Amino acid sequence: MEKFYTSLGLMSGTSMDGIDASIIRSDGENEYESTFDEFFEYDQALYKDLVNLRNKINSANDIIVNSELVSEIERKITLYHAEICNKIINKSDHEVDLIGFHGQTIFHDASQKISKQLGDGSLLSSLLKKDVIYNFRANDIANGGQGAPLAPIFHNLIINKNKIELPVFILNIGGIANITIITSNKNDDLISYDIGPGNCLLDEWVRKHTSYRYDLNGKAASIGKIDEIILNQATENFENINKNKNLSFDIKDFDLSFVRGLSYEDGLSTLTKFTSEIICNSIIKNTKKDKINKINLLVCGGGRKNLTLIENIRNKLPNNINLDLIDDYNINGDFIESQAFAYLAIRSLLKKEISFVKTTNVKKSCTGGILVKNY
């Protein structure tokens, strides 16, 4: 029997609002159980530091120019991760064997072979006296991949473990929207890619016009009026620019300029519809290309709570695509990514592959994640 490891996964997404933390027990292959999930919000000062830093980083050179500030905030964020880890570890029923530390992405551009996450794995290991796996994306990028998405192998595990009828499309709506297509239980058959904006444009518009960080339940978007001319032009522009690209996205790849001049509610309503159009067009195109008749589409990530966005997607999809929230299958849709990085940490420890040709466009399936044991 394969050894089970207890792994604590830590994920901070593009919304920069805090850390999702999960403990799973797994053999790094076909078995896992989730034992702990919790969200830890950044305080206002750290949140502002992160947003301000990200606004300064628009190129690889900006990371060098702002290196002192990057180091300062990296230390702050690592200390906060250590603080919450100590709380979690002290409460855990099982001895935590290792930490999967994703860190906070501040810049991602696969074409430049750069994906920068804030997070000092060596410092975290020293503070916790635990093995830490971090820098998950570097090896994939070094081998010609996009460095993202990395969760598909975990998506495959949870779908097959829960015996959900295939084919399944998992739509993750975080800051970026990405999709995983599962047609068998084989990791090499997985297909995954970034679609485009998820919550990022909506959240940015809300932050620009209000003191809130996001549109709760999509309520403000439901009030506004969609500007159809702007919507159609923006959708067409996006499709034309990205028609032949096979790239992962950074939230800096999208901007709000096309809704400038609209009222708060009208702008948000138009942006929400734009986001749903991009998502639906991509899904429909792929189902036609692969001639798949009946599909279970499961939605996870924070965007699934935006009722207006989900309603827009549901209304646009054809009848052969059945949309459910992943939570409908007793899987917590808030913690898929943090559980995934707990699982990827185990696989990295065991030197097992975490990315595949059809998930990140890497030249051949490869391992990832760097082990540090600084204690």
CATH of the domain at 37: 3.30.420.40
**Is the separation of the CB atoms in 173 and 260 below 8 Å?**
no
Is residue 28 assigned to a domain? Answer: yes
- CA–CA separation, 85 and 77 (whole Å): 12
The answer as to whether 222 is a domain residue is yes
- Our CA angle for 236, 241, 244, nearest 5°, is 115
Whether residues 169 and 280 fall in one domain: yes
Report yes or no on 348 lying in a domain: yes
Tell me the CA distances in angstroms from 283 to 98, 291, 321, one per residue in order: 36, 12, 9
Res 30: pLDDT = 93
Q: What per-residue confidence (pLDDT) applies to 278?
A: 97
Based on the fold, state whether residues 128 and 173 are members of the same structural domain.
no
Residues 43, 107, single domain; the answer is: yes
* 318 DSSP β-pair partners: none
Query: Residue 274: which domain range?
Result: 163-329
Radius of gyration of the chain (CA): 20
- Please tell me whether residues 289 and 355 are part of one structural domain: no
Q: Residue 293 CB: number of other CB atoms within 10 A? A: 7
pLDDT at 252: 86
At 139, list the tokens. 């090896």
Q: Same structural domain for residues 271 and 347?
A: no
Structure confidence at residue 103 (pLDDT): 96
Q: Are strands 321-325 and 5-12 parallel, antiparallel or unpaired?
A: unpaired
Q: Are residues 33 and 104 in the same domain?
A: yes
Cα distance between residue 311 and residue 321, in whole Å:
14
User: CB-side exposure of 325: number of CA atoms within 13 Å?
Assistant: 17
55 and 142 part of one domain = yes
| pTM exceeds 0.85 | yes
CA distance 133 to 349: 8
* Residue 35 shares a structural domain with residue 130: yes
Asked whether residue 172 falls in the same domain as residue 284, the answer is: yes
- DSSP string for residues in 257-290: GGGTTS-HHHHHHHHHHHHHHHHHHHHHHHHHHT
Distance CA 326, CA 209 (A): 31
DSSP string, 123-191: HHHHHHTSEEEE-TTHHHHHTT--S---THHHHHHHHHHTTPPSSEEEEEESSEEEEEEESSS-GGG-E
> Would you put residue 351 in left (φ > 0), alpha (ψ -120 to 50) or beta?
left
Residue 353 within any structural domain of the chain: yes
**303 and 362 assigned to the same domain:** no
Asked whether the beta carbons of 274 and 228 are under 8 A apart, the reply is no
Q: How far apart are CA 362 and CA 111, in angstroms?
A: 13
Q: In total, how many domains does the chain have?
A: 2
181 part of a folded domain: yes
Cis peptide before 167 (omega within 30 of 0): yes
Task: Please tell me whether residues 144 and 176 are part of one structural domain.
Answer: no
DSSP 8: E
Q: Which of 73, 70, 18 is nearest to 41 (CA)?
A: 18
d(CA 237, CA 80): 41
Residue 10 lies in a domain: yes
- Look at residue 319 and tell me if it is in a domain: yes
Same domain, 312 and 347: no
Let me know if residue 156 belongs to a domain: no
CA dist., res. 283 & res. 275, Å (int):
13
Q: How many CB atoms lie within 10 A of CB 179?
A: 22
CA angle 195, 198, 199 (to 5 degrees): 170
pLDDT in tens, the chain (375 residues): 579 999 999 999 888 889 999 999 999 999 999 999 999 999 999 999 999 999 999 999 999 999 999 999 999 999 999 999 999 999 998 999 999 999 999 999 888 888 999 999 999 999 999 999 999 999 999 999 999 999 999 999 999 999 999 999 999 999 999 999 999 989 999 999 999 999 999 999 999 999 998 999 999 999 999 999 999 999 999 998 887 666 788 888 899 999 999 999 999 999 999 999 999 999 998 877 666 678 999 999 999 999 999 999 999 999 999 999 999 999 999 999 999 999 999 999 999 999 999 999 999 999 999 999 999
